[in-house]
């Protein structure tokens, strides 16, 4: 009981890109999604990064995700993520973030990825980093397919609710826990722990960090896992300290649109 935990946002905090947008590129290249899909999703991501994190914006993103995903096979989504994970995500993991994760684990703390991206995407990324605990968006599933409903949308205050439930279940003292994020939308997450740190912050978050005297980290060295293992020690986190995104979950939707079926249809 009470081992403590460190909660990490994913996009621009642990990896140097949007996890949702990352998986869209090969599908567009192969003609599996339309140009309109790419532009609309990229625009949504840009608006989110520029501060469009109010409840209405998050609700629209959630509903867009639900509509786009309806009817897709869950196993198909997982297969696509597995096929492209090492190409699209592994080279973009910040060495500083990987080192910090290892430091928390060595200190006996649980490490939890907390992301608005879909669980089918976030959990494999966590496994790549040696993390088994994730809080991510969950789509409702019926007969192996997405039903068109969002069971849990891991954004804004909802992240804090999930963190609180996990803390109660495991006996964490949140005043002794850590949180890391790059986005102002994660203000509730940062404020719910005793040790908030901002990483590669957007303008609003940098201002908030200054007002609250929160530590500021700048991560600048994305390095593939294999190279990190060969070149230990990784870039030290202390060297990156300067005093401090939420990936849009609609990325899951890109996996299946107009995709050639690679697995047998569900009976």
Is 182 tagged catalytic? no
Which residues, 6 or more positions from 110, have their beta carbon under 8 angstroms from its beta carbon?
3, 4, 5, 6, 133, 170, 172
Is 9 tagged catalytic? yes
Task: Select which of 11, 37, 182, 202 is catalytic.
Answer: 11
Residue 118 has phi, psi (to 5 degrees) of: -70, 150
DSSP annotation of 193 reads: S
3: left (phi over 0), alpha (psi -120 to 50) or beta: alpha
- Residue 138 CA from chain centroid, whole number: 13
Q: What angle do CA 154, 164, 139 make, to 5 degrees?
A: 25
Largest Cα–Cα separation, the chain? 57
For the record, the structure tokens of 31 come out as 């003609």
Distance from the first to the final alpha carbon of the chain: 45
The rounded distance, in Å, linking the Cα atoms of 10 and 99 is 15
Task: Select which of 9, 37, 182, 202 is catalytic.
Answer: 9
Q: What are the DSSP E strand ranges found in the chain? A: 5-8, 110-118, 133-142, 145-152, 178-181, 195-199, 216-217
CB atoms within 10 A of CB 50: 11
Residue positions annotated with a catalytic role: 9, 11
């Amino acid at each position: 009981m009470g081992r403590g935990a460190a909660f990490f946002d994913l996009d621009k905090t642990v990896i140097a890109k949007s996890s949702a947008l990352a998986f869209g590129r090969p599908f567009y290249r192969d003609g599996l999604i339309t140009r309109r899909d790419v532009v609309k999703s990229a625009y949504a991501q840009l608006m989110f990064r520029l501060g469009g994190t109010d409840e209405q914006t998050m609700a629209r993103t959630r509903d867009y995700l639900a509509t786009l995903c309806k009817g897709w096979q869950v196993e198909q989504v997982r297969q696509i993520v597995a096929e492209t994970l090492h190409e699209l995500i592994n080279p973009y993991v910040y060495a500083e973030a990987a080192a910090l994760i290892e430091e928390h684990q060595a200190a006996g703390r649980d490490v939890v990825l907390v992301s608005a991206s879909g669980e089918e995407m976030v959990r494999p990324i966590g496994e790549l980093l040696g993390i088994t605990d994730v809080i991510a968006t969950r789509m409702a599933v019926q007969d192996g397919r997405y039903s068109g409903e969002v069971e849990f949308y891991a954004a804004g205050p909802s992240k804090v609710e999930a963190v609180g439930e996990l803390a109660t279940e495991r006996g964490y003292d949140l005043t002794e826990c850590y949180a890391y994020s790059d986005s102002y939308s994660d203000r509730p997450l940062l404020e719910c722990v005793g040790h908030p740190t901002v990483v590669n912050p957007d303008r609003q978050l940098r201002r908030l960090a200054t007002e609250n005297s929160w530590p500021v980290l700048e991560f600048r060295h994305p390095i593939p896992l294999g190279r990190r293992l060969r070149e230990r020690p990784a870039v030290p986190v202390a060297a990156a300290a300067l005093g401090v995104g939420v990936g849009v979950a609609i990325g899951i939707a890109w996996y299946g649109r107009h995709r050639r079926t690679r697995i047998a249809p569900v009976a």
